[in-house]
Amino acid sequence: MHFCDEIDFTKEPSFRSPDKTEKENKVLESLDQLFEVLQLKDGDTISFHHHLRNGDFVVNKVMEEIHKRNIKGLTLAISSIFPCHSPLVAYLEDGTILHVITSYMSGPVAEAISEGKLRGKLVMQSHGGRARAIMEDELAIDVAFIAAPASDRKGNLSAVDGNAFCGVLGYAVADSIKAKQVVAITDTLLDKESHTEIPQERVDWIVKIDAIGNPQGIISGTTRITKDPVGLSIANKAVEVMVATGLVKDGLCYQSGAGGVSLAVTKTLGEYMREHHIQGDFASGGVTGDLVEMLHEGLFQRIYDVQCFDLVSAESVKNDESHISMSAEKYASPYRDPCVNGLDFVILGATEVDLNFNVNVTTGHDGYIMGGSGGHQDTAYGAKVSIIVSKLHQSRIPLIVDRVGVITTPGSTVDILVTERGVAINPRRTDLMDALTNAGVEFMTIEELQEIQHGIIGKPSPKQRENKRVIGVSEYRDGQIIDRIYEV
Amino acid sequence: MHFCDEIDFTKEPSFRSPDKTEKENKVLESLDQLFEVLQLKDGDTISFHHHLRNGDFVVNKVMEEIHKRNIKGLTLAISSIFPCHSPLVAYLEDGTILHVITSYMSGPVAEAISEGKLRGKLVMQSHGGRARAIMEDELAIDVAFIAAPASDRKGNLSAVDGNAFCGVLGYAVADSIKAKQVVAITDTLLDKESHTEIPQERVDWIVKIDAIGNPQGIISGTTRITKDPVGLSIANKAVEVMVATGLVKDGLCYQSGAGGVSLAVTKTLGEYMREHHIQGDFASGGVTGDLVEMLHEGLFQRIYDVQCFDLVSAESVKNDESHISMSAEKYASPYRDPCVNGLDFVILGATEVDLNFNVNVTTGHDGYIMGGSGGHQDTAYGAKVSIIVSKLHQSRIPLIVDRVGVITTPGSTVDILVTERGVAINPRRTDLMDALTNAGVEFMTIEELQEIQHGIIGKPSPKQRENKRVIGVSEYRDGQIIDRIYEV
């Protein structure tokens, strides 16, 4: 029934007069105080964001309080899980946490889940898929806990002030809009609003604690540029391929993943742009200091930043208007033409690629979870040309397999594979084949590249999947289930 | 059922591969093109914001297209209606528009509705109440039309660029978050994102038209300072009362309504602050150039702006970081400690006040609708001291009545009435009586003030209400119905 139809004109209004002396105070002095007012019960869904990455203290502190209160069967909707979150293993085992929904996992929690220690289900989403699921009420959050580097007393949250400043809170924005209750946890209470990213109307409580994280932990494993000569030769080849497409020109829009080879591509691309006086439009993604340097140099006009991978980029968001923070939706939503749709290139990693160009970045060769889509699915779809950069084998572990352990990103959105032994192009992209042929850049089929790989490390025996227990699913950004994840 | 419980591990995933060549283009070249893709049907709810005030072209242009397409029975959820919207009268009469939900109305549409020409129901909400109703899904919007002074091709909306820049889009923010479909209508397409207030992830389509409005129309009737000596004497008395409360000191937070006497209070208060070297914290509300001047002078440190009442303030939002735009929720939501809760004073007008301090700003003495709450309810509740400034009578029409025509703002939130013949204090506020007594400022009961009024213009005969037809309701900000609105 329509809202207006429900209004009964014949009924005498029975109005309860408001008492204006009863005003709210959002600021609480401890997590203990919070749990006195918070509505949280068995079976609820709680969410966290991961901008403090491996330096985060908030998840463990909150989960410890929840565990103390013996609340069980929670769904943990957390944008990523890092090694620092190892205390959660005990909470999987004792049923405090029932289901886990995340976009990336590495470390002890990932291992424990791979070994079957989660009682409920694991759902792996992309960054854009997570925002979609939240905004569509598919993933309904009861309480969102937001690690906020700084907040005023009204709940205007800033990521560029405070001790543990992380630059951006892009992955927490959808949570803040949709969660029934929103808790900001901060170590820095500001007298006045400053650099608000999430405004006060999205926040129910502000809890002041001693420290929300160690800013040094923002830099974690995947975000260091490779020094390996093979990796560097792949990066050089990738840039050669990019140039061959004709898209490396003024107005270029670019993103790379956080892997060491991908970051090397960015550096090499920068050198090419500098040499050829190319001025790009925007670079986006999780952002590193290298990209910030390219912005300052004028190689790009803008950075769109959903997450800072180091402190240089976190500083830059604060001080540079052309370094623009964005929400996960703006970055990567499957709807409403997100930033990823504007990309010319995205450079991504892979642990496995199959003959249909399906990519696995979720599990390792041994089947253990050691990553997840993050923005992999989103950018592969959005970019005009998605390029996977990877060694063809690593310690005799093959890149190209008949069937990837888990499909993270569907092959229909993966365009080019660049390895140290050759380049393969997705047969859908005859336009790219033409461009590379015209530019004199050699390429082959992925079957040919696999043959080369077999020549070096032999043909691996096919892995068994079917008799193993399913522990979770890999979800595509639009909500479709793309693959199952198996127990190790 | 929980999202995770619905996932069936035993079912083989049937994945439909995405085709990355099919990308969106949000930009449409005409309203005609828009209505080819828009989902709009009989009985839907559409919304508009009113930042272009009496200079708005968008509402009429859109409604003309809807009328052409013979769509009927719409609910018009529009934050305010001005004289420029007179073409809507025909659409009330022919049933194109069934229900109207708004926060303020003046001009031909208000008259027509008062005369019973609306087939459905009228709901008058406060600015904060409207945001609440939208965010709570009580007021569910099918299509939000947002007049956007400028947009890039992705839908990042700016109110400070373009020809018809209005400074802020605060009343459209909740609509943009919650509406099923969001249409930005602009006359200025930017090459690059600039000063984004509503981000691209909230926008489905961008329609480029010739002109969205006449920026001169932003200044409308209520926003000119009074020059009348009686009005000015009321303003002086109001400042005397404010000073007597002891709250006019460093850190002062202040708002005034847009009426001529209220604006005179702001000016007089500024003089007092200047003279006594008082530095306020923030001023808020619909903002005028006078307030901007006070900001520049350092009399306030910040302005919180939900709507610009003139072009000086619209310019100021663009150029001054301490002039902060805010959403209707941040401004005035009944939840989550909005800006209004930080106010020391709000200065407001009234057409009628009753002996319980209930205020009517919705209808005139003749029963015709000529206004509405706007932020009246919200600020009266939020401010430590809410002050009504008004002449005791105007052309022999009394201010103080036994029963106001429509209760807009409940008396429990109205603290002081200042007229040219005396000051009355709400009996709930013995603290304010003590303060005024100590400061030697005279006051009386509202009954005494009414007696004075009767002495001047006589005792009016009570108005008939009960045998008239109810055409709508006055809603309180929390969703309660506070009063009925009658046909004239």
Q: Which residues of chain B does A342 touch, with a Cβ-Cβ cutoff of 8 Å?
A: 154
Considering chain A, what percentage of its residues have pLDDT values greater than 70?
Answer: 99
Distances (CA, A) of A35 to A29, A32, A152, A180: 11, 5, 21, 15
CB contact under 8 A, B15 and A482: yes
Phi, psi of B187, deg, nearest 5: -110, 0
Give the pLDDT of residue A223. Answer: 61
Residue from B40, B21, B43 nearest B31 by CA: B40
Per-residue pLDDT tens digits for A311-321:
899 999 999 99
Pairing of strands A150-152, A157-158: antiparallel
Do residues B58 and B81 make contact, with C-beta atoms less than 8 angstroms apart? no
Residue A57 C-alpha from the chain's centroid:
19
d(CA A154, CA B41): 41
CB contact under 8 A, B17 and A412: yes
Pairing of strands B150-152, B157-158: antiparallel
Residue from B432, B407, B396 nearest B356 by CA: B407
Do residues B472 and A8 make contact, with C-beta atoms less than 8 angstroms apart? no
Q: Which residues of chain B does A45 touch, with a Cβ-Cβ cutoff of 8 Å?
A: 2
Buried b (16+ CB within 10 A) or exposed e, B362-373: bbbbebbbbbbb
CB contact under 8 A, A478 and B18: yes
Per-residue pLDDT tens digits for A230-257:
999 999 999 999 999 999 999 999 999 9
Query: What average pLDDT does the structure give for chain B?
Result: 95
Do residues B62 and B184 make contact, with C-beta atoms less than 8 angstroms apart? no
Per-residue pLDDT tens digits for B452-478:
999 999 998 877 776 799 999 999 999
Q: Which residues of chain B does A193 touch, with a Cβ-Cβ cutoff of 8 Å?
A: 302, 324
B301: exposed, middle or buried (Cβ count in 10 Å: 0-12, 13-18, 19+): middle
The answer to whether A117 faces chain B, any CB pair under 8 Å, is no
d(CA B246, CA B266): 17
| pTM recorded for the entire structure | 0.96
The answer to whether A120 faces chain B, any CB pair under 8 Å, is yes
Do residues A131 and A332 make contact, with C-beta atoms less than 8 angstroms apart? yes
Do residues A306 and A171 make contact, with C-beta atoms less than 8 angstroms apart? yes
Give the pLDDT of residue B223. Answer: 61
CB contact under 8 A, A481 and B338: no
CB contact under 8 A, A133 and B3: yes
Give the pLDDT of residue A154. Answer: 97
User: Which two structure tokens, joined as six digits, stand for A227?
Assistant: 């020094």
Q: Give me the interface pTM, i.e. the ipTM.
A: 0.95
The answer to whether B3 faces chain A, any CB pair under 8 Å, is yes
CB contact under 8 A, B201 and A327: yes
CB contact under 8 A, B13 and A338: no
d(CA B449, CA B455): 10
The structure tokens 């543990």 sit at: A164
Range A363-382 average pLDDT: 97
Residue from B301, B239, B269, B262 nearest B441 by CA: B239
Q: Which residue of A lies nearest to B201 if distances are taken between CA atoms?
A: A330
d(CA B84, CA B215): 13
CB contact under 8 A, A20 and B101: no
Q: Which residues of chain B does A203 touch, with a Cβ-Cβ cutoff of 8 Å?
A: 336
Amino acid at B248: V
Q: Of chain B residues 186-225, which have a CB less than 8 A from chain A?
A: 192-193, 199-204
Q: Which residues of chain A does B26 touch, with a Cβ-Cβ cutoff of 8 Å?
A: 336-337
Per-residue pLDDT tens digits for B5-18:
889 998 899 999 99
- Give the pLDDT band (50/70/90) at residue B3: confident
Phi, psi of B205, deg, nearest 5: -135, 155
Do residues B350 and B360 make contact, with C-beta atoms less than 8 angstroms apart? yes
Distances (CA, A) of B214 to B55, B152, B171, B314: 5, 21, 19, 14
Query: What average pLDDT does the structure give for chain A?
Result: 95
Among A4, A337, A413, the residue with its CB nearest the CB of B20 is A413
- Least Cα separation, residue B413 to chain A (angstroms): 6
Per-residue pLDDT tens digits for A409-459:
999 999 999 999 999 999 999 999 999 999 999 999 999 999 999 999 999
Q: Of chain B residues 338-357, which have a CB less than 8 A from chain A?
A: 338-339, 341-342
- Least Cα separation, residue A405 to chain B (angstroms): 15
The sign of the CA dihedral B209, B316, B330, B79 is negative
The answer to whether A395 faces chain B, any CB pair under 8 Å, is no
CB contact under 8 A, A20 and B413: yes
CB contact under 8 A, B342 and A154: yes
Q: Of chain A residues 38-67, which have a CB less than 8 A from chain B?
A: 43, 45
Do residues A216 and A245 make contact, with C-beta atoms less than 8 angstroms apart? no
Q: Which residue of B lies nearest to A482 if distances are taken between CA atoms?
A: B15
CB contact under 8 A, B412 and A481: no
d(CA A23, CA A179): 22
Instruction: Please measure the distance between the N-terminal and C-terminal CA atoms of chain B and give it in whole angstroms.
Output: 51
Q: Which residues of chain A does B202 touch, with a Cβ-Cβ cutoff of 8 Å?
A: 336
Q: Of chain B residues 429-488, which have a CB less than 8 A from chain A?
A: 470, 473, 476, 478, 480-484
Q: Of chain A residues 287-316, which have a CB less than 8 A from chain B?
A: 301-302
The sign of the CA dihedral A156, A160, A165, A169 is positive
Give the pLDDT of residue A222. Answer: 55
The answer to whether B30 faces chain A, any CB pair under 8 Å, is no
Give the pLDDT of residue A460. Answer: 85
Per-residue pLDDT tens digits for B186-221:
999 999 999 999 999 999 999 999 999 998 887 755
Q: Which residues of chain A does B327 touch, with a Cβ-Cβ cutoff of 8 Å?
A: 199, 201
Greatest CA span in chain B, whole angstroms?
86
- Least Cα separation, residue B328 to chain A (angstroms): 9
Q: Which residues of chain A does B329 touch, with a Cβ-Cβ cutoff of 8 Å?
A: 201
Range B236-262 average pLDDT: 96
A434 Cβ contact list (under 8 Å, min separation 6): none
- Least Cα separation, residue B434 to chain A (angstroms): 17
CB contact under 8 A, A324 and B482: no
The answer to whether A3 faces chain B, any CB pair under 8 Å, is yes
Give the pLDDT of residue A466. Answer: 67
Among B20, B154, B407, the residue with its CB nearest the CB of A412 is B20
The structure tokens 């642990």 sit at: A351
User: Which two structure tokens, joined as six digits, stand for A466?
Assistant: 């079917």
Range A202-212 average pLDDT: 98
| pLDDT(B446) > 60 | yes
Q: Which residues of chain A does B5 touch, with a Cβ-Cβ cutoff of 8 Å?
A: 121
Q: Which residues of chain B does A333 touch, with a Cβ-Cβ cutoff of 8 Å?
A: 201
Considering chain B, what percentage of its residues have pLDDT values greater than 70?
Answer: 99
d(CA B10, CA A89): 26
Q: Which residues of chain A does B318 touch, with a Cβ-Cβ cutoff of 8 Å?
A: none
Give the pLDDT of residue B258. Answer: 84
Range A76-97 average pLDDT: 98
- Give the pLDDT band (50/70/90) at residue B259: confident
The answer to whether B413 faces chain A, any CB pair under 8 Å, is yes
Inter-chain Cβ pairs, chain A and chain B, closer than 8 A? 181
**SS3 assignment for chain A:** CCCCCCCCCCCCCCCCCCCCCCCCCCEECCHHHHHHHCCCCCCCEEEECCCCHHHECHHHHHHHHHHHCCCCCEEEEECCECHHHCCHHHHHHCCCEEEEEECCECCHHHHHHHCCCCCCCEEECEHHHHHHHHHCCCCCCCEEEEEECEEECCCCEECCCCCCCCCCCHHHHHHHHHCCEEEEEECCEECCCCCCCECHHHCCEEEECCCCECHHHHCCHHHCCCCCHHHHHHHHHHHHHHHHCCCCCCCCCEEECCCHHHHHHHHHHHHHHHHCCCCCCEEEEEECHHHHHHHHHCCCCEEEEEEECCHHHHHHHHHCCCEEECCHHHHHCCCCCCHHHHCCEEEECCCEEECCCCEECCECCCCCECCCCECHHHHHHHCCEEEEECCCEECCEECEECCCCCCCECHHHCCEEEECCEEEECCCCHHHHHHHHHHCCCCECHHHHHHHHHHHHCCCCCCCCCCCCEEEEEECCCCCEEEEEECC
When computed from its CA atoms, the radius of gyration of chain B, rounded to whole angstroms, is 24
d(CA B405, CA B460): 13
Per-residue pLDDT tens digits for A125-173:
999 999 999 999 999 999 999 999 999 999 999 999 999 999 999 999 9
B466 Cβ contact list (under 8 Å, min separation 6): none
Angle at A66 between CA A65 and CA A70, to 5 degrees: 115
